[in-house]
Amino acid sequence: MVCAAGVFTIPEPGSVLYQLARVTPMGAASQVMSYGWFGGDSFPWIQIVTMIGWTVALTPLAVKRFKWR
C-alpha cells in the first residue's frame, strides 16, 4: 500500500499510479503533505475529499469492531 501510494517515489501527474494514489487513504495523505511541504499549482481538493470520505465510511466499522469495555 505504501508503494502504491507513492510514498517512496513521486509519481508523475496523470500517470496510472498517480490516479490510484489519489483515491487511497495513504496516497491522498502523502500528496497533501507534499503539497504542504513543497507547494503546488492548485490546492489538492480531491485528496482532502478522499481522506474525509474514507474516514466517514470506515468510522462506523471502527466503532463496531473496537469496543473497550
**pTM of the predicted model, to two decimals?**
0.73
pLDDT in tens, 19-67: 888 888 888 888 888 888 888 788 889 889 999 999 999 999 999 999 8
Nearest in space to 13 (alpha carbons), one of 41, 38, 33: 41
Specify the residue for cell string 498517480: 18
The pLDDT, as a whole number, for residue 69 is: 63
- CA dihedral of 20, 26, 34, 51, whole degrees rounded to 10: 90
